[in-house]
Structure 1
Amino acid sequence: MQRLYAWLRARPLLVDTAWAVLLFALSLLEIVADDLPGNRGAVVFSLVVLCGCVALRRAIPVFALFATILVGIVQLIADVPPATMDLAMPVIAYGAAAYGPRWASRLALAGCFAAPIAAAVRWWDLPNTTATHTIVLFLLLTGPFVIAWVLGDSMRTRRAYYAELEDRAARLERERDAQAQVAAAAERARIARELHDVVAHNVSVMVVQADGAAYAIDADPDRARHALGAIASTGREALAEMRRLLGVLRSANEDKPMLPQPGVEQLADLLAQVRGAGLPVELRVEGVPVELPQGVALAVYRIVQEALTNTRKHGGPGTTATVRLHYRDDDIRLEVTDDGRGADAPGDGMGHGLVGMRERVAMFGGDLTAGPCPGGGFLVAATLPVSVAAGPVAV
């Protein structure tokens, strides 16, 4: 049934034509059976034009309205009394109110009162027709006209309301996409600055080590030269990688010292700060902890920081969280879970925090999933490849 309704809605001309054919058949039967009085040519003209207007009432509502007015004038002049075919007039008034311009709708409303008045006056002097009969005739003719016009005008208002809602939804979607793009650009710029600090700090350390190796060149020249070559090569690769990945320079007004960024070692301080803010959180470490590249360590720290911030904002009272780090051979698996409201949590619809986390993970070729858990709560899980291997460290 739903498919049939959708199919008919997509073909309004076919539906209107079907109603026009039905009206034509009923009216023709009345003409043949009752020998409708009046000029025969005017009767046939009225029947054909009115049925045609019913078929075209949505396609060309203004033309249908004027053609119907013409038919009404012809019927008054040719003495064709109201008949079954005149049921088309309220239908066409509905079409003018629903699909025509505003001035055509007002003209149709005027016709809703003018047509019954003209009919009552025209046939008031018929035999056995009293004033009461005339008033009743006027009311019977006016009622369907006015009801049809009101329904058509309501349809117009509803369509305009739906169009406004669709336009507003489209505008909101465009604004949301634009805000997401701005947020992504801002997050990329922030990541670029942070990674610049990481690389610059490492390069500074390598420069210091290179200077130290230069002083030891007399004691062990071969070993010192080898160390210097390795340090210089690593420094050049780090700078090239920075330029290739970031492509973003610091603003001229930013003059910050090149300090080490937080990493896995600072998670304990972060969790202590979160607990002090009222969110119980537990850290679990699985596998053998290894020293991570500073970019990866920074990403782990920021993802945990953002996930716990979202938990404090949206988890609700009494929420607890768990941070799990799983060190594996080639990557590190990070999971931040809570037992808060999950899918029922209110949100601002922006998702800038998730945008930032996805940008960080994508920069290192990892993957991230975030969403409500089936049993309640929220999960943020990220897998980051570990490209630099080092010895075990304490976490």
Structure 2
Amino acid sequence: MHRLNAWLRRHPMVVDSVWALVVLLLGLLSDFSESDRQLYGGLAVSLAIAALMVVRRRYPDLAAAGGTALGLGQLVLDIVPGGSSIGYLVFAYTGAAFGSPWASRLVLSVGLVAGPLTLWRFDSSTDSPPGDPAPAGPSTWQMVFVAVLMSTPFVLCWAWGRLTRVRGAYLVELEDRAARLERERDAQSKVAVAAERARIARELHDVVAHNVSVMIVQADGAAYVLDNSPQQAKEALATIAGTGRQALVEMRRLLGVLRTSETAEEYVPQPGVEELPELLEQVRTAGLPVDFATSGEPRELPRGLELTVYRIVQEALTNVRKHGGPGARARVAVDFGDRDLEVLIEDDGRGSTAEQLDAGGADGPGHGLIGMRERVGMVSGSLDVGPRPGGGFRIRAVLPLKTAS
């Protein structure tokens, strides 16, 4: 049924043709009961009304003007209105709903005078033979009342058409607004992604710069103690090799990430897993109770991976503070596996949807989960977000621990 309605909306001429056929049949039934002159005239009018009804939505101005001319022709040629005259109501609606402003004004004017003109032209009380006394007809007030009553359907159809036009314009405006908002949302998402990637690039640049600085210091120290303490020099060279491999991994992750020209920031080591207790203490001080637990065997991680863990926890707890509501509690768990690192942040608050977090919530547009997805994607990890069973929100990130050598 839905498909049929959609097909009919796409082919309005089919619907109009069906109604035109119905109006034509009504006209034929009333025309065949008239005299020969009225029969041929009525058939011509009925066919013309049906033809205009078929094309009324494709050519609304033509339908309004043609219907007006056809009605005036009936008055001039003294063709009594038949069953097909109901089509004039359709033309009044069409001119108001789909026609040009002049067509709308035309059908309204014709509708207002249709009743008086029809009553005047086809009043049977004026058709008595010459010499016969005229029968007593209705009073003037009765004539006015009947004329107004005959014009009322035309005015009502015109008003219905105007209402349809206004409603259609309102729906078009809503669709345009929805499309515009969708484009703006997509643009904001792209801007947020670009800004987040630029921020990640700067942070990774800081990490790599820190590793290179360590390598330089170790190399200078190894050169200084090479003659007097070969063992210390060997340890320094091992540190340089490890740091170099780690820096190489970070540089490979940096490829493909766009970066802005603002590079005048101080190159300092970025926070990592070791700084999580400090972060959680700050959050507790701000009024959000947080439990923290670790499992598995802790180990040294690449600075870029540590930074990713820190930022994910930081962003997740920020979202809890924004959307968790009063009385919410949070839990952070870090599991060191053999091949991956799992970070779990969940709360028991009222929660929020992923779309709201992406949009920044009630505080205005922000990065939300966009930044998390970008960070996790940079280390080839996976991110799972959604409502928590029993209430609240849950964020789970799995980050691979394989490093390139």
Taking structure 1 as the reference length, the TM-score comes to: 0.89
Are 1:287 and 2:296 matched, yes or no? yes
C-alpha contact 1:315 1:339 (8 A) present in aligned 2:
yes
Aligned equivalent of 2:224, options 212, 215, 229: 215
Aligned to 1:8: 8
Shift of 1:12: 1.2
Query: Could you tell me how far 1:141 is from its partner in structure 2?
Result: 2.0
Alpha-carbon distance change, 241 to 277 in structure 1, aligned in 2, over 3 angstroms: same
Specify the alignment match of 1:311 in structure 2.
Answer: 320
How far residue 243 of structure 1 moved from its aligned partner, in angstroms, is 6.0
* Residue 188 of structure 2 is aligned to residue 170 of structure 1: no
CA distance in 1, matches of 2:116, 2:76: 15
Equivalent residue number for residue 83 of structure 1: 82
The answer as to whether partners of 2:64 and 2:91 remain within 8 angstroms in 1 is yes
Tell me by how many angstroms 1:338 deviates.
Answer: 0.5
Structure 2 partner of 1:392: none
1:386 equivalent to 2:395? Answer no
Partner of 1:393: none
Amino acid corresponding to residue 369 of structure 2 in structure 1: L
CA contact (8 A) 2:341 2:401 kept: yes
Q: CA deviation digits over 1:223-280, x for unaligned, max 9?
A: 948965983764883685376354536526x241x22111111110111110111101
Q: CA deviation at 1:289?
A: 1.4
The alignment partner of 2:21 has SS state of: helix
User: Post-superposition shift, 1:344?
Assistant: 7.5
Rate the CA distance shift 1:379–1:205 in 2: closer, same or farther, 3 A: same
Matched AA of 1:280: P
SS of 2:41's partner is: helix
Unmatched 5+ stretches in structure 2 = 129-134
Counterpart of 2:220, as a letter, is: D
The one of 228, 241, 251 aligned to 2:262: 251
Partner of 1:369: 384
> Aligned pair in 2 of structure 1 residues 23, 247: CA closer, same or farther (>3 Å)?
closer
Name the SS of the counterpart of 2:335 in structure 1. Answer: strand
Shift of 1:100: 1.4
Q: Distance in 2 between matches of 1:249 and 1:39?
A: 85
CA change 1:199–1:166 in 2 (3 A) is: same
Match of 1:198 in 2: 207
Q: Which of 314, 328, 342 is the matching residue for 2:337?
A: 328
Q: Which residue of 1 aligns with 2:132?
A: none
Q: Tell me, in whole angstroms, the C-alpha distance in 1 between the residues paired with 2:171 and 2:196.
A: 37
Whichever residue aligns with residue 378 of structure 2, its letter is M
1:47 CA displacement: 1.1
CA distance 1:15–1:255, change in 2 (3 Å)? closer
Structure 1 residue 51: Cα displacement: 1.1
State whether residues 371 and 379 of structure 1, in contact with CA within 8 Å, keep that contact through their aligned partners in structure 2: yes
Does the 8 Å contact 2:289/2:330 carry over to 1? yes
Match of residue 252, structure 2, among 225, 238, 241: 241
The alignment of Structure 1 onto Structure 2 pairs a total of residues equal to: 386
In the alignment, which residue of structure 1 is the partner of 2:69? Answer: 70
Matched, 1:188 2:197: yes
Provide the identity percentage: 47
Answer with 374-383 or 16-25: which moved more: 374-383
Tell me, what secondary structure is at the counterpart of 1:35?
coil
For residues 144 and 378 of structure 1, the distance between their equivalents in structure 2, rounded to whole angstroms, comes to: 60
Task: Give the structure-2-normalised TM-score.
Answer: 0.87
Q: Aligned letter for 1:121?
A: W
Amino acid at match of 2:175: E
- Aligned in 2, Cα 1:272/1:220: closer, same or farther, shift over 3 Å? closer
What SS does structure 2 have at the residue aligned with 1:371?
A: strand
- Residues 255 and 378 (structure 1 numbering): CA distance in 2 closer, same or farther, change over 3 Å? closer
Letter in 2 for 1:364: V
What letter corresponds to residue 294 of structure 1 in structure 2? R
- 5+ long unaligned stretches in structure 1: 390-395
Conserved 8 A contact 1:39-1:78: no
* Counterpart for residue 116 of structure 1: 115
Listed one character per residue, the Cα deviations across residues 152-175 of structure 1 (whole Å, up to 9, x for unaligned) are 111111111011001001111111
Question: Counterpart of 1:30 in 2: which secondary structure?
Answer: helix
SS at 1:334 equivalent: strand
